Structure 1
Amino acid sequence: MENPQTWEEVDIWRKAERQRLAAGRLALSVEQRASLTREIIARLNQAVEITPGRIISAYFPYRGEPDLRPWMAQISSRGARVALPIVATKNAPLTFRLWTPEARLERGVLGIPVPAGTEEVTPDVVLAPCLGFDRSCYRLGYGGGYFDRTLAAFEKRPLAIGVAFAPFQIETIFPQPHDIPMDRIVTDQAIWTPV
């Protein structure tokens, strides 16, 4: 489907595109992903101001996503407070719990580790992994709508940054009214802001 027009057509297109992008990411070797991730981390250090006490929500890697755990430990040692997103209720906004390298973890939704019993916080910065992204800084995720729902629910919106491998930039995600663009997309090649 080259140019979907209706929401139903966009939904069909997105499902196929998600499968294509996920397969492409998993086709990257471990070494390729690690190399690209190092470049992403270098750019995150430019894109995110790290100050003591600032709450930055990152994520644990899932299905070949950039592995930001070394960066999370680094910014934690510099005084930032790191949080991880939690799916507490299906089809509801995410919640966020503090994480440290010493935090006890438990299995969350999809088996992704989450902090066990740490303080729930409101982040100043939210990093969201992207399967794909477009030049207007819309991200294509797994389709659950959690990050869009969460950003829409914040009283004071945090800085929202999508994290992606550059080869997975697409022309458009065909944004719909519920889609919320990121303030920035950080890749291994660039830091994008919406056009």
Structure 2
Amino acid sequence: MVDGIEAEKALLRKTARTRREALSPQFRSEASNAISFHFFDKVAFAPEDAIAGYWRIRDEVDCQPILVRLMDGGQTVILPVVSGVEEPLDFRVWHADAPLYEAGFGTLAPSDLAPRSEPDLILMPLLGFDKAGTRLGYGGGYYDRTLASLRKRPMLVGLAFAAQGFDHIPREPHDIPLDAVVTEDGVEFFEACL
């Protein structure tokens, strides 16, 4: 059964990549700004919350507008770092004046000396999402391992273009659903959050 699910997910990943690659750079830039607006308009978080973002790779939603606004407002912003192939992500605090360094996979991250923090809310990159909040990732399992290792469950907010939506993505027992997804069309909250 798992092999069938993995095969189905592999096909969905291919479709999702094709859909995302078909979006023009101008559309992705404008949509990323709209996603930032919708995030701040509809997603609630406390001033003391640590919010994890990510450094965009390839044609992902650019969450940098969100991160900059959070830092400008004094929010604690953290970025994930891949520590090892089978390891959970390491979350490091990023201060606006601190340089970022290459961290593999085309991402940037704070230095090894940056403070660590557990997130209260995670902005998650993804290839696809469905109407039940199932997230289709890249298949490396980094977020799955990370979420399983955290002491408390953070709010999970996927950032995606509307074109990345599917009716159904198969969910395995280790797949933790999103609480919300933000696209250029707005915010959709899922039952996990209610």
User: When the two structures are superposed, what TM-score results if normalisation uses the length of structure 2?
Assistant: 0.92
Counterpart of 2:16 in structure 1 is 21
In structure 2, how many angstroms separate the alpha carbons of the residues matched to 1:53 and 1:103? 20
1:192 aligns with 2:188: yes
- Cα distance per residue 1:38-58 (max 9 Å; x no partner): 111111103433544321000
Pick from 35, 41, 57 the counterpart of residue 46 of structure 1. 41
Pick from 134, 152, 166 the counterpart of residue 138 of structure 1. 134
1:158 aligns with 2:154: yes
User: 1:23 Cα deviation (Å)?
Assistant: 2.3
Give the AA of the match of 2:25.
V
Could you list the runs of 4 or more consecutive aligned residues of structure 1 that deviate by over 4 angstroms after TM superposition? none
In structure 2, how many angstroms separate the alpha carbons of the residues matched to 1:121 and 1:72? 16
Pick from 34, 38, 43 the counterpart of residue 29 of structure 2. 34
- Cα distance per residue 1:146-172 (max 9 Å; x no partner): 112211221111111111111111011
Q: 1:49 to 1:79 in 2, by over 3 A?
A: farther
User: 1:70 Cα deviation (Å)?
Assistant: 2.0
1:90 aligns with 2:94: no
Identical columns (%): 35
Counterpart of 2:3 in structure 1 is 8
Q: 1:123 to 1:102 in 2, by over 3 A?
A: same
Give the AA of the match of 1:162.
G
User: When the two structures are superposed, what TM-score results if normalisation uses the length of structure 1?
Assistant: 0.91
User: 1:119 Cα deviation (Å)?
Assistant: 0.8
Counterpart of 1:128 in structure 2 is 124
In structure 1, how many angstroms separate the alpha carbons of the residues matched to 2:156 and 2:42? 11
In structure 2, how many angstroms separate the alpha carbons of the residues matched to 1:50 and 1:26? 32
Unaligned stretches of 5+ residues in structure 1: 1-5
Q: 1:157 to 1:72 in 2, by over 3 A?
A: same
Structure 1 vs Structure 2 CA RMSD: 1.5
Counterpart of 1:81 in structure 2 is 76
Q: What SS does the aligned partner of 2:7 have?
A: helix
Give the AA of the match of 1:100.
H
Q: What SS does the aligned partner of 1:19 have?
A: helix
- Cα distance per residue 1:31-76 (max 9 Å; x no partner): 0001111111111103433544321000111121111112211110
